[in-house]
Structure 1
Amino acid sequence: MALADGQGHSLAGRNDVAFGNLTAAGGKAANQEIIDKFSRARPNLCGLSPNRTAIMAILNITPDSFSDGGKHFGQHAALNALDEMADAGVDVVDIGGESTRPGATELTWQEEWGRIEEAVRHAVGLGPKVSVDTRKAPVMEKALEAGVDIINDVSALEFDADALPLLAGQDVDLVLMHHRGTPKNMQELTNYDDLIPEIMGHLQGRVEACVAAGHDRARIMIDPGIGFAKSLEQNYDILHALPAFHGLGQPILLGVSRKSLFKTLPFAGHTEGRLPASLAAQCLAIQQAVQMLRVHDWRESLQMRAFMEHLWFASTS
């Protein structure tokens, strides 16, 4: 749908993505407040343009992450990977020291920070924005002292009671992910009465909790939590309903890279075989004006984004 034709509304402030009429519950036309949440421009998180889907490259310094555990566990490998990411032009590096895959064992905060400290300090000032993937307030505090730009918490600041007051008013952007339970039991918690509204309601509640604690609403990004307390089909339902999450009025991050929802597809039984499906899902997300993609295969994702941008430019020139 083309805005130039005077039809529809801009989706998330984008001139290249639009939506038509909205209907609220009961089939009634959506009111202007709802339309505004879908259409208003999103903030420039970390100085990154909301009009271009950002690529967040994953650096797991772990022996047991579901996809790349052990690949960057040594500090030399981790620092080299950061240099390569920066040289290639990724927008954000997301550094994590504790696996949150289903069934993962929890670390102490000292163990977690010990794994990532050198990489975090190396990454700050390297070029890309720096995100730390953690649930623990002491790790967040150390990361803030090191100068990171983003705290990415898969528990939406619910795992550690000290996290919310620690981050309130801090000069940092937040990623809040929908979740249930812990990595030990989350895949036992996939019963929902109404999947998408329940996920959106949880995320809205966490955004409001952060705002009430003193954090700037314009510095909060939401993540629907693909693979976290979701069945295979529920993950597909989320991807199908991605545009609905714009109704919360916040920037959206999507982490779908190599995840188990692809495991029943041809040649995708192992994580190494899931790149094509991951790129297809990321392409869908770009078309739906998602603001950030969290990816393992950052070279391929950068190429895919460049192709999409060339394609759109050609179609409008």
Structure 2
Amino acid sequence: MSTLRGRVAGLPEWDRCAVMGVVNVTPDSFSDGGRWFDTEAAVKRGLDLAATGADLVDVGGESTRPGASRVDEDEELRRVVPVVRGLADEGVPVSVDTMRASVAEQAIAAGAVLVNDVSGGLADPSMVPVVAAAQVPFVVMHWRGFSHDMNSRAVYGDVVAEVFSELRARMDAVVAGGVVPERIVVDPGLGFAKEADHDLALVAHLRELRALGRPLLVAASRKRFLGRVLAAGDGSPPPARERDAATAAVSAIAAREGAWAVRVHEVRPTADAVRVARAVEGAE
């Protein structure tokens, strides 16, 4: 229910957990690197995701997998902006996944309605002013540093309490920078400076994170912790593309715990999962 999940100013209000589909316009994504690197292929992929149940399509041009190096600004713009424009022109609500203010600004001009910054505005000091001026919703994710060394930062005494307090501090900073609270979405950052047990603990305690008072985005799709859960007897995880059923299971859990949206690579299983979760809510 909308009152349970919260509202995000500037976006539609859904009566269930929303589904954000992912289009990685990169050659090196951990999940589907290279498949949608061409602009035309990426736009088609986004349209396909919308047709199979995505409420939003998140377009990104920079891999944030553990160990990834950053792409330069001009290349990120070249990858992202035409895809955002192509999807927006077709009436698809588009989110831009970027840590750069310049990319966010040009993507908004091309039709993006949401900025999804995995650094929560920490990577680029110009990001918060740009988002504030544009008056668009902003995803503030829990982040402890860039991908090339984030694994070394996965040290917690109490992961739920520390993610909560660090997200709270970042929310306060973003609001102080001019973004109105009604436009903020929070994301616990599964897989970012987290080990598998940290991710599982955060999924188990999503309800506590909702006490931050803002809608919650959960992005578990195909991530390493699911590979660990599904590992064979010898410890080897299944390939990323074989984790969609597990992703849908997390989506159902997240929906039942009041998440505003889930971010996934393969939409149909999760679209079904959140609708089932909503039907169960309605029967209570």
* Bigger relative contact order, structure 1 or 2 (CA pairs below 8 A, ≥6 apart): 2
Residue 169 to residue 212, structure 1, CA distance change in 2 (3 Å): same
2:131 counterpart of 1:167: yes
2:275 counterpart of 1:306: yes
> Equivalent residues in 2 for 1:83-232 (5 A)?
83-232=47-196
Coordinate RMSD, CA, aligned: 1.8
Checking the alignment, whether the CA contact within 8 Å between 1:51 and 1:291 is kept in structure 2 is no
Which aligned runs of 4 or more in structure 1 are off by greater than 4 angstroms? none
Shift of 1:71: 1.1
Residue 118 to residue 285, structure 1, CA distance change in 2 (3 Å): same
Checking the alignment, whether the CA contact within 8 Å between 2:118 and 2:141 is kept in structure 1 is yes
Partner of 1:270: 239
Residue 64 to residue 208, structure 1, CA distance change in 2 (3 Å): same
In 1, Cα distance between equivalents of 2:97 and 2:170: 17
Shift of 1:255: 0.2
Checking the alignment, whether the CA contact within 8 Å between 1:227 and 1:235 is kept in structure 2 is yes
In 1, Cα distance between equivalents of 2:245 and 2:196: 18
> Equivalent residues in 2 for 1:52-91 (5 A)?
52-91=16-55
Partner of 1:17: none
TM-score, with structure 2 as normaliser: 0.93
Checking the alignment, whether the CA contact within 8 Å between 1:48 and 1:54 is kept in structure 2 is no
Secondary structure, counterpart of 1:185 in structure 2? helix
Residue 203 to residue 50, structure 1, CA distance change in 2 (3 Å): farther
2:261 counterpart of 1:297: no
2:253 counterpart of 1:284: yes
2:227 counterpart of 1:252: no
Checking the alignment, whether the CA contact within 8 Å between 1:58 and 1:294 is kept in structure 2 is yes
In 1, Cα distance between equivalents of 2:212 and 2:271: 27
In 1, Cα distance between equivalents of 2:107 and 2:11: 19
Secondary structure, counterpart of 1:124 in structure 2? helix
Q: Structure 1: where are the runs of 5+ without partners?
A: 1-10, 15-40
Checking the alignment, whether the CA contact within 8 Å between 1:251 and 1:291 is kept in structure 2 is yes
In 2, Cα distance between equivalents of 1:233 and 1:66: 20
Q: Aligned letter for 2:227?
A: K
Q: Deviations over 1:161-189 (max 9, x none)?
A: 11122222422100011011210000011
Partner of 1:31: none
In 2, Cα distance between equivalents of 1:182 and 1:176: 15
Checking the alignment, whether the CA contact within 8 Å between 1:177 and 1:222 is kept in structure 2 is yes
Shift of 1:50: 5.5
In 2, Cα distance between equivalents of 1:137 and 1:246: 27
Q: Structure 2: where are the runs of 5+ without partners?
A: none
Q: Deviations over 1:11-63 (max 9, x none)?
A: 9833xxxxxxxxxxxxxxxxxxxxxxxxxx72244432254110000000101
2:24 counterpart of 1:13: no
Q: Aligned letter for 1:88?
A: T
Q: Aligned letter for 1:255?
A: A
The range that moved more, 80-89 or 141-150, is 80-89
Aligned length: 279
Shift of 1:311: 4.0
Partner of 1:8: none
Secondary structure, counterpart of 2:148 in structure 1? coil
Larger Rg: 1
> Equivalent residues in 2 for 1:227-238 (5 A)?
227-238=191-202
Checking the alignment, whether the CA contact within 8 Å between 1:60 and 1:68 is kept in structure 2 is yes
The range that moved more, 125-134 or 135-144, is 125-134
Between the two proteins, what is the percent identity of the paired residues? 34
Shift of 1:88: 3.0
In 2, Cα distance between equivalents of 1:88 and 1:66: 23
Checking the alignment, whether the CA contact within 8 Å between 2:19 and 2:53 is kept in structure 1 is no
The range that moved more, 48-57 or 242-251, is 48-57
Secondary structure, counterpart of 2:134 in structure 1? coil
Checking the alignment, whether the CA contact within 8 Å between 1:89 and 1:128 is kept in structure 2 is no
